[in-house]
Amino acid sequence: MLAAKNYWQPTSIPSYSYIGDDYPMAWPISQAKVGMQPEDTQRYTLNTPMGAQEWKALVPCSSDGTISLGPEGRRFTIAMFHQLQCLDIIREALVNPSLRPESTAGSDANARDEPSHWELTTSCLNYLRQISLCHGNTHIESVRSDEPPKITDLHRSTYECNDWTTLYTHFAESGCATPA
């Protein structure tokens, strides 16, 4: 005869001090799954003032994208907003030749403690490369051309994603961090 013992206990929500390493690895909010079909869009152009505004608007809090968490109001960013901010930094480097290293050599910008735009661009490319590798998406995408670059046909691709609108909603409800 098998005897079963009830090991079930109510799950408690962990609490964090947000001091040092005592914080969750992910923002503890619930996100539903949604389907997304990638498509070309007339929005988010690279080199127009409207496109620049649309890219900036993807990151809440006046493009700072940080939020205060915990009793001491420690500042954090959410990975999705960091990734979108990186895409905008890369966009700016593509459309503004004055941000390239050969254009800024010897300028006062290099004398500051802050990284140059080119250093930010390089850092962002590496970050986005690593995030892409981390997610290792295995969707099959149809190739439209045998000539490089091999452009893909995404109209039949539907991706299961976390509902990103939930992040914007929770971010707005939690309030933005006050930039330092």
The confidence band for 137, taking pLDDT boundaries of 50, 70 and 90, is confident
Predicted confidence (pLDDT) at residue 133 exceeds the cutoff of 70: yes
Instruction: Indicate the number of domains in the chain.
Output: 1
Average pLDDT of the segment spanning 166-175:
86
pTM for the whole structure: 0.79
Cβ partners under 8 Å of residue 63, min gap 6: 56, 85, 88
Establish if 30 belongs to a structural domain: no
Establish if 87 belongs to a structural domain: yes
Establish if 42 belongs to a structural domain: no
Distance, C-alpha 7 to centroid of its chain = 39
Helix, strand, or coil here: 104?
Answer: helix
Q: Compare 145 and 164 and report the one with higher pLDDT.
A: 164
Q: Are 128 and 87 in contact (CB under 8 A)?
A: yes
Predicted confidence (pLDDT) at residue 117 exceeds the cutoff of 80: yes
Residue 24 main-chain phi, psi, to 5 deg: -70, 155
Establish if 88 belongs to a structural domain: yes
User: 152: domain range?
Assistant: 48-104+114-174
**pLDDT tens track for 35-51:** 988 888 899 999 999 99
Establish if 23 belongs to a structural domain: no
Q: Compare 85 and 106 and report the one with higher pLDDT.
A: 85
The confidence band for 111, taking pLDDT boundaries of 50, 70 and 90, is low
Establish if 18 belongs to a structural domain: no
Provide the sign of the torsion angle of the four alpha carbons 78, 81, 86, 92, taken in this order: negative
Q: Compare 29 and 140 and report the one with higher pLDDT.
A: 29
Establish if 141 belongs to a structural domain: yes
Predicted confidence (pLDDT) at residue 113 exceeds the cutoff of 80: no
The confidence band for 95, taking pLDDT boundaries of 50, 70 and 90, is very high
Average pLDDT of the segment spanning 1-15:
53
The confidence band for 53, taking pLDDT boundaries of 50, 70 and 90, is very high
Average pLDDT of the segment spanning 149-155:
72
Task: Give the helix, strand, coil percentages of the chain, each rounded to 5.
Answer: 35, 10, 50
State the Cα–Cα distance between residues 49 and 114, nearest whole angstrom: 26
Q: What single-letter amino acid sits at 90?
A: I
Predicted confidence (pLDDT) at residue 116 exceeds the cutoff of 80: yes
State the Cα–Cα distance between residues 61 and 57, nearest whole angstrom: 9
Establish if 154 belongs to a structural domain: yes
- The percentage of the chain sitting over the pLDDT mark of 90, rounded to a whole number, equals 44
